[in-house]
Amino acid sequence: MVSGEKGRLLRWWFFFLLLLSPLAALFVNLLNDNLGADPAKVIVKELGFWAITLLWLTLSVTPGIKLLGWRWLMSFRRMLGLYTFFYAVLHLLSFATFLVGWRWDILLTELTKRPYIVVGSLALLLLIPLTFTSTKAMQRRLGRRWKKLHSLVYPISLLAMLHFIWQIRSDFGQQLIFAILLAILLGYRLYLNRRS
């Protein structure tokens, strides 16, 4: 293991590229016409899947530190959060471009009339203030209020879960896994709260 400043930098780049790789893989598959007869839908779903996965990973940082003692995780919490936002924004953009073709009439009804999209949009909207207050400077400036603001991540995760659950058709295996993981991640916070 490389230590010191150089090791930290190496680790940063490693995680940075690792979390970018799902997008790179999607891109390579697209260029190779590897996404099937309807790449539009596949792209939207993949990006949504990575957005929720990264959100769950962001939520895993605190339990990871407290339960496993992996303190180094802390320096990647911001990166995980920003990547969540990044994939969620690409998810929305690919929906608006590849599926809706920026037809404003359709986009407007989709964003207001489909319950699963309304909660998805709300989740994305709430991610915006978190994204723009994610810097160390902002953290210092906001002080105690920063923590309060960033506990928005809990309702956001519930909205994202609901967004996913409302898409269940003939099989809920995936949704069940994400729901169990979320129950553990949020349950652990409740447990910590109770104790203190």
Partner 1 sequence: MSKRLIREALNIPSSEITSESIYKQRRRLIQAAMSAAILPAFAYPSFARAAGYEIPDDLPRYPGPAWLRQKLASAVRNPDLSVSDELAPYYHIITHNNFYEFGTDKRDPARYAQNFKTDPWKVEISGEVAKPGNYNLEDILAPHALEDRVYRLRCVEAWSMVIPWLGFPLADLIKRFEPTSKAKYVHFTTILDKEQMSEQRSSFGTIDWPYVEGLRMDEAMNPLTLMAVGVYGNALPPQNGAPLRLVVPWKYGFKSIKSIVRIHFSETMPETSWNVTAPSEYGFYANVNPAVDHPRWSQATERQLPSSLLSPNIVDTLPFNGYADQVAHLYKGMDLAKWF
Report how many residues bind partner 1 under the rule CB under 8 A.
Answer: 33
DSSP structural state of residue 98 = I
User: What mask of x and - would describe binding to ligand HEM in positions 166 to 185, judged by CB under 6 A?
Assistant: -x------------------
User: What mask of x and - would describe binding to ligand HEM in positions 28 to 57, judged by CB under 6 A?
Assistant: ----------------xx--xx-xx--x--
Structure tokens at 169: 């058709």
Owner of token pair 């090791």: 7
Span 54-83, contacts to partner 1 by CB under 8 A:
none
Query: What, of ligand HEM, partner 1, none, does residue 163 touch, CB below 5 to 8 Å by kind?
Result: ligand HEM
The answer to the question of residue 85 lying near ligand HEM (CB under 6 A) is no
Residue 181, C-beta contacts closer than 8 angstroms, at least 6 positions apart: 56
**Degrees to nearest 5, angle at CA 88 with 11 and 158:** 100
Rg (CA), the chain: 18
The answer to the question of residue 131 lying near ligand HEM (CB under 6 A) is no
Q: Measured between alpha carbons, how far is 77 from 60 in angstroms, rounded to an integer? A: 9
Query: What, of ligand HEM, partner 1, none, does residue 38 touch, CB below 5 to 8 Å by kind?
Result: partner 1
CA 1 and chain centroid, separation: 29
Shortest reach from residue 36's CB to partner 1, in Å? 5
Q: Comparing C-alpha atoms, which of 96, 98, 56, 58 is closest to residue 78?
A: 58
What are the residues binding ligand HEM (CB under 6 A)?
44-45, 48-49, 51-52, 55, 88, 91-92, 95, 117, 120-121, 123-124, 160, 163-164, 167
